[in-house]
Chain A
Amino acid sequence: MTARSRADCAAALVGLPGMTPVRLGRLLAGRDPVAVWSDLVAGRAGVDRYHVDAARSTDPGRVGDRYRAAGVAVLLPGDDGYPDRLMADPGAPAVLFALGRPRGLTGRPAVAIVGTRSATPYGRQVAAELGRDLAAAGVSVVSGLALGTDGAAHTGALQGVGADPGPPVAVVGTGLDVVYPASHATLWGAVAERGAVLSESPLGTPPLPRAFPARNRIIAALADVVVVVESHHRGGSLYTAEAAARRGIPVGAVPGSVRSPASRGTNGLLVDGCIPIRDAADVLVAVSLASAGRPAPAPVPEEGALVAARGRDRPGRRAAGVPSEPSVAGAPATGTPERAVLDAVETEPTPVETVLLRTGLSLAAVAEAGHRLVVSGHLRSGAGWWSRR
Chain B
Amino acid sequence: MIAAIPSAVLIGVDGKLVRVEVHVSNGLPGFTVVGLPDAAVRESRDRVRAALLSSGLPWPLRRVTVNLAPSGVRKGGAGLDLPIAVGLLVASGELPPEAVAGMAFVGELGLDGSLRAPTGTLVLAEALRDRLLVVPEASVAEATVCGSGRVRSAPTLRRLVDALVGRRPWGDAAPTVPVPPGDGTPAGDRDLADIRGQRLARRALEVAACGGHHLLMVGPPGSGKTMLAHRLPDLLPALDRTTSLEATRVHSVAGFGLPPTGLLTRPPFRAPHHGASAVAMIGGGTTWMRPGEISLAHGGVLFLDEMGEFPTAVLDALRQPLEDGHVVVSRARGATTFPARFVLVGAMNPCPCGEGGAPGRCRCSQAARERYARRLSAPLLDRFDLAIRVDRPDVDHLVGGPPGESTATVGARVARARHRAVARQGSANGTLSGARLDRCAPVSDEAATRLELELRSGALTARGLHRVRRIARTLADLDGVERVGSAQVAEALLLRCRRQLLLGGEDPR
A residues lining the B interface (CB < 8 Å): 117-118, 120-122, 147-148, 181, 232, 256-257, 259-263, 348-349, 351-354, 356-357, 363-368, 370-371, 374, 380-385
CB-CB under 8 A from A120, the residues of chain B are 359-360
7 contacts between A and B (CB under 8 A): A260-B361, A363-B491, A367-B491, A368-B487, A368-B490, A370-B494, A371-B493
Cα A368 to Cα B360 with chains together (Å):
28
Cα A256 to Cα B201 with chains together (Å):
31
Max chain B CB contacts within 10 Å: which of A147, A181, A351?
A351
Instruction: Determine the residue in chain A with the shortest Cβ distance to B402.
Output: A360
Cα A304 to Cα B357 with chains together (Å):
37
Given contacts A368-B486, A383-B498, contact A353 B360 (CB under 8 A): no
B391 touches A353 (CB 8 A): yes
CB-CB under 8 A from A357, the residues of chain B are 197, 199, 394, 397
Interface size class of B (residues with CB under 8 A): 35 or more
Cα A269 to Cα B504 with chains together (Å):
28
A352 touches B200 (CB 8 A): yes
- Answer yes or no: B213 CB below 8 A from chain A CBs: no
Q: Other CB < 8 Å A-B pairs besides A118-B364, A380-B507, A384-B388, 6 of them? A: A260-B359, A260-B361, A357-B199, A366-B494, A367-B487, A367-B494
What is the 8 Å Cβ interface bit string for chain B, positions 383-405, against chain A (1 contact, 0 not)?
00000111100100100000000
B361 touches A353 (CB 8 A): no
A356 touches B359 (CB 8 A): no
Cα A122 to Cα B364 with chains together (Å):
16
Number of residue pairs spanning A and B whose beta carbons lie under 8 angstroms apart: 111
A382 touches B500 (CB 8 A): yes
A348 touches B359 (CB 8 A): yes
CB-CB under 8 A from A354, the residues of chain B are 391, 394
Among the listed A117, A122, A353, A364, which residue makes an inter-chain contact with B491, where contact means beta carbons less than 8 Å apart? A364
A371 touches B359 (CB 8 A): no
A256 touches B490 (CB 8 A): no
- Answer yes or no: B365 CB below 8 A from chain A CBs: yes
B residues lining the A interface (CB < 8 Å): 197-201, 203, 357, 359-367, 388-391, 394, 397, 450, 475, 486-488, 490-491, 493-495, 498, 500-501, 503-507, 509
Q: How far is the CB of B351 from chain A (nearest CB, A)?
A: 10
Max chain B CB contacts within 10 Å: which of A121, A256, A367?
A367
Given contacts A352-B494, A357-B199, contact A383 B501 (CB under 8 A): yes
Among the listed B200, B357, B362, B504, which residue makes an inter-chain contact with A363, where contact means beta carbons less than 8 Å apart? B200
Cα A60 to Cα B436 with chains together (Å):
71
Q: How far is the CB of A215 from chain B (nearest CB, A)?
A: 19
Cα A186 to Cα B391 with chains together (Å):
36
CB-CB under 8 A from A363, the residues of chain B are 199-200, 203, 491, 494-495
Instruction: Determine the residue in chain B with the shortest Cβ distance to A262.
Output: B360
A364 touches B359 (CB 8 A): no
Cα A366 to Cα B495 with chains together (Å):
12
Cα A384 to Cα B203 with chains together (Å):
14
A353 touches B363 (CB 8 A): no
Cα A348 to Cα B359 with chains together (Å):
7
Cα A371 to Cα B365 with chains together (Å):
30
Instruction: Determine the residue in chain B with the shortest Cβ distance to A368.
Output: B490
Given contacts A353-B197, A367-B490, contact A118 B501 (CB under 8 A): no
B475 touches A364 (CB 8 A): yes
CB-CB under 8 A from B490, the residues of chain A are 364, 367-368, 370-371
Cα A382 to Cα B506 with chains together (Å):
4
Instruction: Determine the residue in chain B with the shortest Cβ distance to A382.
Output: B506
Cα A349 to Cα B361 with chains together (Å):
13
A147 touches B498 (CB 8 A): no
CB-CB under 8 A from B500, the residues of chain A are 382-383
Cα A364 to Cα B476 with chains together (Å):
11
Given contacts A356-B199, A384-B388, contact A259 B360 (CB under 8 A): yes
Cα A147 to Cα B364 with chains together (Å):
12
Q: How far is the CB of A300 from chain B (nearest CB, A)?
A: 36
Q: How far is the CB of B473 from chain A (nearest CB, A)?
A: 14
B509 touches A353 (CB 8 A): no
CB-CB under 8 A from A148, the residues of chain B are 366
Cα A384 to Cα B362 with chains together (Å):
17
Instruction: Determine the residue in chain A with the shortest Cβ distance to B454.
Output: A371
Q: How far is the CB of A190 from chain B (nearest CB, A)?
A: 19
Cα A364 to Cα B507 with chains together (Å):
19
A384 touches B363 (CB 8 A): no
A351 touches B361 (CB 8 A): no
Instruction: Determine the residue in chain B with the shortest Cβ distance to A369.
Output: B490
Q: What 8 pairs between A and B have smallest CB-CB spacing?
A: A260-B360, A383-B500, A367-B490, A384-B389, A383-B501, A364-B491, A368-B490, A356-B199
Cα A119 to Cα B170 with chains together (Å):
78
B504 touches A367 (CB 8 A): no
A353 touches B488 (CB 8 A): no
CB-CB under 8 A from A118, the residues of chain B are 362-366
Among the listed A351, A356, A382, which residue makes an inter-chain contact with B507, where contact means beta carbons less than 8 Å apart? A382
CB-CB under 8 A from A260, the residues of chain B are 359-361
Cα A349 to Cα B507 with chains together (Å):
12
Q: How far is the CB of B485 from chain A (nearest CB, A)?
A: 9
Max chain A CB contacts within 10 Å: which of B200, B359, B491, B509?
B359
CB-CB under 8 A from B363, the residues of chain A are 118, 232, 261
Q: How far is the CB of A143 from chain B (nearest CB, A)?
A: 17
